[in-house]
Structure 1
Amino acid sequence: MTPHVRPLLDWSPDAVVFDCDGTLMDSERHWVEARSLAFREFGLQAPAGFAEQAKGMHYEECGRLMADSVHKPELASGLTGALLDHFLELVTDDPVTMPGAVQLVRTLSGRLPLAVASNCPMVVVEGSLERAGLRTHFQHIVVPETGDSVRPKPWPDVYLLAARLCGVPPLRALAVEDSLTGVESAHRAGLRVLGVGPRPAGDGAERADLWLPSLHEPELLTWAETRISGGPEPD
């Protein structure tokens, strides 16, 4: 936890920005399967440990990494296209929210601005949130295609733009993330960060202010219900 700031759950942000894959939507498993199918389509096999290496990565960068990992950089475009096609088919057939996501979003909704900052294409984020019944709770969705100058995570761009659209300084916004790529992006943008899910190995996890096993943790829901009022922060 960052030493010079108040503990995260003793703090009230002015906006919350969520990652989508693996944070709100249980779609990381779809990316894993889509990568496997794309490799198989080209007669290839994913190297050991590739799933963890690719977690949270923008799909175009992932396609390039897939090609480089099997020493066939000339296949980057084909693997990228196959990856996205397989993922869209899988996520359309099986949209599932992460534990606690619906309750937390609905609790926060209307109390302060909510946004999504994702490395996924807009069609994926919009469609997933719509099917999960969550789309109307978010005022803004920011993805790399939002603008020519918006670079994917781990660049800070998506979080900087999300905070600006919410009308708050980055230091007054909370990012909710599940991957080291996303945590790095939010940290570089100046947001405070809540990590959710299994805590990843490596020093990058320390950039989050707090890690919790899921969005369904009682202390998190209590925080949302009691400290987030949309008014001035209590002393």
Structure 2
Amino acid sequence: MTAEKFLGWTPAAIVFDCDGTLMDSERHWVEAREVVLRNHGTAADEEFAQSTKGLHYTECGRMLAEFAGRPELADEMTEQLLDAFRRLVAEDPVTMPGAPQLVAKAATFAPLAVASNCPRDVVEDGLAKAGLLRYFGHVLVPEGQVRPKPYPDVYLEAARLCGAAPEDALAVEDSHCGFLSASRAGLRVLGVGPRKPVDEPPPVDVWVSTLADPELVKWADSRAA
């Protein structure tokens, strides 16, 4: 979808990622990973940090254990990762620029859901503290038969619960793992980030640097009206 076509389209549902998209918590994941590795006598490099962005926390814990040379400690390091992340989010629950305003406007013209790889309590507590949870009819996380991103499950289930066909719904994402999940589910994808990757183009339909992008704000205003 071109930017021009996007600006003329009204989605039947909008599904937002949480970390790095709605909540400024990706930095908390980075810090939590650093804390765990530091406690095990090592430190991550930039390549490792990028490779773990957006992954389900259990997969991230496994990768941390392997990176530290202690694969047998995967479960223990996963718990350490979650404990550190929960503490950091509780201390600093900050939204991404433009997120509160976009969510409030979007809720006036489409049902909203959240699709995240985080534990449910982390997602809901963070959104509640930011005053955003009330706008979302559904919060989808990997549990039961629902597999984590990059599988399409969370986005397929979110669209279904919102009463929308996947191709009529919009996903708002910031990570390659999330882009893959949403595009595999058949949703149209709005990518958000300071710069669009050039080495491995993500499967997105439209890219904005921030949810406060003037054209995005104008689009939401027009749909809300």
The normalised TM-score by structure 1 is: 0.91
- From 110, 125, 128, give the equivalent of 2:126: 128
In structure 1, the partner of 2:200 is 203
In structure 1, the partner of 2:210 is 214
| Aligned residue pairs, count | 224
* Cα distance per residue 1:147-167 (max 9 Å; x no partner): x21000000000000000000
Structure 2 residue 180 is matched with structure 1 residue 180: no
User: Aligned partners of 2:200 and 2:161: how far apart in 1?
Assistant: 30
* Cα distance per residue 1:135-189 (max 9 Å; x no partner): 10000000002xx210000000000000000001000000000000000000000
In structure 2, the partner of 1:144 is 142
- CA deviation after TM superposition for structure 1 residue 42, in Å: 1.9
User: Aligned partners of 2:45 and 2:103: how far apart in 1?
Assistant: 37
- From 20, 39, 60, give the equivalent of 1:62: 60
The CA RMSD over aligned residues, in Å, is 1.6
- CA deviation after TM superposition for structure 1 residue 7, in Å: 2.8
Gaps of 5+ in 2: none
In structure 1, the partner of 2:114 is 116
Which residue identity is paired with 2:185? A
Gaps of 5+ in 1: 230-235
In structure 2, the partner of 1:95 is 93
SS at match of 2:89: helix
Q: Is the 8 A contact 2:32 2:81 kept in 1?
A: yes
In structure 2, the partner of 1:84 is 82
In structure 2, the partner of 1:16 is 14
Going from structure 1 to structure 2, the CA distance change for 1:223 and 1:195 (only over 3 Å counts) comes to same
Which residue identity is paired with 1:224? A
User: Aligned partners of 1:201 and 1:32: how far apart in 2?
Assistant: 22
Mean CA deviation greater in 119-128 or 36-45: 36-45
SS at match of 1:17: strand
SS at match of 1:7: helix
SS at match of 2:215: helix
In structure 2, the partner of 1:164 is 160
User: Aligned partners of 2:4 and 2:217: how far apart in 1?
Assistant: 19
